[in-house]
Chains A and B, each alone.
Chain A
Amino acid sequence: MSIRDQRKLIESIHPFGLLSKESMDALMQKIDIAYYPSKTLLISPSISSIAFYIIIKGSVTEYIEDEVHDVYGAGDSFDADALIYGDTKAKFVVDEDLICYEIKKEDFLDLMQDKKVQSYFLQDFISRHQQLKEYEQQSELSPFLIARVSDIFLHPACVVDAHISILEALQRLQELRAKVIIVKEEDAYSIVTDTNLRERVLMGENDISKPIASIASKNLVTIDKEDFLFNALLLMTHNGIKRVVVLEHEKIIGVLEQIDLLSYFASHSHLVAVQIDKAQTLEDLKALEQDFRNLIVTLRAKGVKVRYITKLIATLNFKIYKKVFEMCVSEELQDKCALIVMGSEGREDQTLRSDQDNALIIKNGVDKELFSEPMMRLNSYLLELGFPKCNGNVMVSNEFWRRDVTSYKELIEKWTYDMNEESVQNLSIFLDAKCVAGDCELLHELTEYLHGKFHARDDVLAHIAKAVLNFETPLTLFSGFVLEKEYNNKLDLKKGGIFALVHGVRTLSLQYEIKATNTTERIKELNNLGVIDKTFATELIESFDTLSSVRLKAMLEAKTIEEANFINPRTLEKNQRDLLKDSFKIINKFKKFMTFHFHLNMVV
């Protein structure tokens, strides 16, 4: 009946859904509906808050120092802080005639006795953000990527001394029913797999009475027990191996087998990786296109954090680049150059395929012309594989992006001096460069050189950083959305938020000579260096994740690349809208930080 309808409405609003039946019953006895015509001032520093409001219809704008800070619409509630702390800096004004539920101050504070409600309202941004995300995932599908290595079945580790014989080691293996032998040598561990046994004992000359260490492989890949399972998958995919050794406090506690991991994930990222490795022709690679897309859809549906998806996609894309590189460049030339990807690919931020941004660095003294034909071919292959053309023509097919080391250095020199729009843009792209094939030392040398050029050049850095302020954060668009005044209101995620964050973090990384190209890793590094504090770093990472996640959703639904950056907030669920709004607030905070850090208000 009716009271139940209202109850349902209230329960659908987080965190009231967490209340016990009794508390909910009690709450329902205390809620009134109030009506306020537009322009009513509800709360301000001089009018203390008397109630907690939950909007049924209408909208309210929150101003801090006369700047729009937030807009609340149907289903939103405000303002817990004003009630809890008894005062506020903000001003809440009714924007569109408001019908709302009102919980009186005393009753609201009573409600705060409930631990769950209390923790929700007393949390800072990060935990509230995470709780909302978790809540969202719960309501969709299980959050499976929170799973850690320790959550999965581990095979016992068969650790043996280096000097025992192959036979003894095998017996020990049998006893433990383990799959691989880990050999403890003086200062390190090595590993003996079935492949080693086959190649070095059955097919090789080795006698089973020889010490086990003689047939072991050196590179033991390990992972900490507390690490995410997904990272284990990345490790396997990246190294092309079938198992990783699990450590706890630097001690071996077991072995994680790929088969177990895969059944846990029940998707086939590794299969895609293997198929890329096996591919002989362009057609083989093309055939993988659909698998690729499915993989993303599956992982996303399973609630995998977008930053892990993008990382996996990047890893797989790098494999494709490498493969295509090997197909196009003859073997003797392969180590005389470095193929680099830049922009979003270099940052490992791209979700579905984004524009090709690639270049070739040639070793000094090698004839540039030798690479002309192979690079044209490489470009056409990539196009055929569905890597879209770069509008700015930042591609190896363009002679401009095929140079030797000296010539790149001259280019960098030029960029740092003339500072026109094009130079800043090229520099920005190059800052995200990551080597995917060939001799990666070449890129390393250039990065060092580039960082050196920016020592104590804060003026130039400020000039680059300025672009962060180029676009307004579209918080006000939400008001357009809430007020339903606009037609076809769409948000540009890239301009609105992602660009400012990525570019700002990139500029800071240049200043502090951070080598990482991935935005999340750069933020972590900046935190390690003390440039930004831990809380802010986490806020930025979470915001970036949210923006990317919403963007990925848009990309999967979009028909064209241009469309992919736009979303209609109307189509988002309330939780997602809240997350997005929160993220934009953090972007604004970041812009303020950048303005202060580089004194941007003094740069013309």
Chain B
Amino acid sequence: MFGFFSKLKTNANRKRLKDEKFAFLFDADTSGEVVVFDTETTGLDVSKDEILSIGAVKIKDNKILTSQTFEVFLQNSKEISSASIKIHGIRPVDLKNAKTTKEGIEEFLHFVGARPLVGYYLEFDVGMINRYTKEMLGITLPNQMIEVSEIYFDKTISLIPQGNIDLRFDTILKNCGVPNMGVHNAVNDAIMTAMIYLKLTQGKK
């Protein structure tokens, strides 16, 4: 799965790791689990915006381990704009007990370990996390990435070869018959994404 080129990249990444405590991120994964995660941010600009919360769940075989749900809120340097509050529903008071970004990100890394990461539009969420890890540890997330919209696309395109495939989250949710769990927040979205993932990978082939 990992080509020669990506191996090179990983090795270069590994060399930049400043803190050996996090060497486990580069271990071979033996857990048999994957981690689905989602973030809520102050905006969509990876270079400027900040993470407000991270939600994640593990999947093992056909089960979403909601018993080990991960959820963290992070302190922010700027005020949260009222426009973005409308989207993520996180108000300044919700961040009263938030952790420092350092603490929060470290906890997240421990939760994830070397497991593959699963998400919807993962590029963005990983990009957000990478900005923090680069600063803290000198590295980007080395984990294998699995994009659900890609799996969805591959499955659907075989049915309608010339069609335009609608990859919006709500559409995928609906077409996969996954219940909408209500409000959008990091954990809920992670759980819903996890359900989509299971449906796409565990369903009748």
Residue positions of A touching B, CB distance < 8 A: 1-3, 5-6, 28-38, 56-58, 74, 97, 99, 101-102
Q: Find chain A residues with CB under 8 A from B188 CB.
A: 2, 5
Q: Find chain A residues with CB under 8 A from B181 CB.
A: 2, 5-6
Q: Which residue in chain B gives the minimum CB-CB distance to A2? A: B187
**Which of A5, A33, A37, A97 meets B64, CB within 8 Å?**
A33
A32 touches B65 (CB 8 A): yes
A99 touches B63 (CB 8 A): no
Q: How far is the CB of B38 from chain A (nearest CB, A)?
A: 10
The total of interchain contacts (Cβ-Cβ below 8 angstroms) comes to 68
Q: Find chain A residues with CB under 8 A from B187 CB.
A: 1-3
Among the 9-residue stretches B12-20, B96-104, B197-205, the one with 4 or more Cβ atoms under 8 Å from chain A is B197-205
Q: How far is the CB of B157 from chain A (nearest CB, A)?
A: 21
Q: Find chain B residues with CB under 8 A from A34 CB.
A: 62-64
Among the 9-residue stretches B41-49, B66-74, B115-123, B164-172, the one with 4 or more Cβ atoms under 8 Å from chain A is B66-74
A3-B71, A5-B181 given as contacts; is B63 within 8 A of A32 (CB)? yes
A and B contact pairs by CB, cutoff 8 A, 29 listed = A1-B71, A1-B185, A2-B69, A2-B71, A2-B181, A2-B183, A2-B185, A2-B187, A2-B191, A3-B71, A5-B181, A5-B182, A5-B183, A5-B188, A6-B181, A30-B67, A31-B66, A31-B67, A33-B64, A34-B63, A35-B198, A37-B203, A37-B204, A38-B204, A56-B179, A58-B177, A99-B179, A99-B195, A102-B63
Query: Is B186 located at the chain interface by the 8 A CB criterion?
Result: yes
**Which of A6, A37, A97 meets B66, CB within 8 Å?**
A6
Query: Is B178 located at the chain interface by the 8 A CB criterion?
Result: yes
Q: Find chain A residues with CB under 8 A from B65 CB.
A: 32
Query: Is B55 located at the chain interface by the 8 A CB criterion?
Result: yes
Interface of A is mostly: strand
In the bound complex, CA of A36 to CA of B199 (Å):
9
Residue positions of B touching A, CB distance < 8 A: 55, 62-67, 69, 71, 177-179, 181-183, 185-188, 191, 194-195, 198-199, 202-204
**Which of A1, A29, A30, A35 meets B62, CB within 8 Å?**
A35
Which 7 residue pairs of A and B lie closest in terms of their CB atoms, listed nearest first?
A2-B187, A35-B198, A33-B64, A2-B188, A34-B63, A57-B179, A32-B63
In the bound complex, CA of A58 to CA of B188 (Å):
19
In the bound complex, CA of A2 to CA of B94 (Å):
13
Q: Find chain A residues with CB under 8 A from B202 CB.
A: 35, 37
A97 touches B203 (CB 8 A): yes
Q: Find chain B residues with CB under 8 A from A97 CB.
A: 177, 199, 203
A35 touches B195 (CB 8 A): yes
Q: How far is the CB of B178 from chain A (nearest CB, A)?
A: 7
In the bound complex, CA of A5 to CA of B191 (Å):
12
In the bound complex, CA of A412 to CA of B177 (Å):
61
In the bound complex, CA of A30 to CA of B68 (Å):
8
In the bound complex, CA of A304 to CA of B121 (Å):
56
B66 touches A32 (CB 8 A): yes
Q: How far is the CB of B151 from chain A (nearest CB, A)?
A: 15
* Most B Cβ at <10 Å: residue of A1, A6, A30: A1
Q: Find chain B residues with CB under 8 A from A38 CB.
A: 204
A32 touches B178 (CB 8 A): no
In the bound complex, CA of A29 to CA of B199 (Å):
24
Q: Which residue in chain A gives the minimum CB-CB distance to B179? A: A57
Q: Find chain A residues with CB under 8 A from B186 CB.
A: 2
A36 touches B62 (CB 8 A): yes
In the bound complex, CA of A5 to CA of B184 (Å):
11
Q: Which residue in chain B gives the minimum CB-CB distance to A56? A: B179
Q: How far is the CB of A29 from chain B (nearest CB, A)?
A: 6
**Which of B66, B203, B204 meets A33, CB within 8 Å?**
B66
Q: Which residue in chain B gives the minimum CB-CB distance to A1? A: B185
In the bound complex, CA of A97 to CA of B65 (Å):
19
Q: Find chain A residues with CB under 8 A from B63 CB.
A: 32-35, 102
Q: How far is the CB of A27 from chain B (nearest CB, A)?
A: 10
Q: Find chain A residues with CB under 8 A from B198 CB.
A: 35, 99
Q: Find chain A residues with CB under 8 A from B179 CB.
A: 56-57, 74, 99
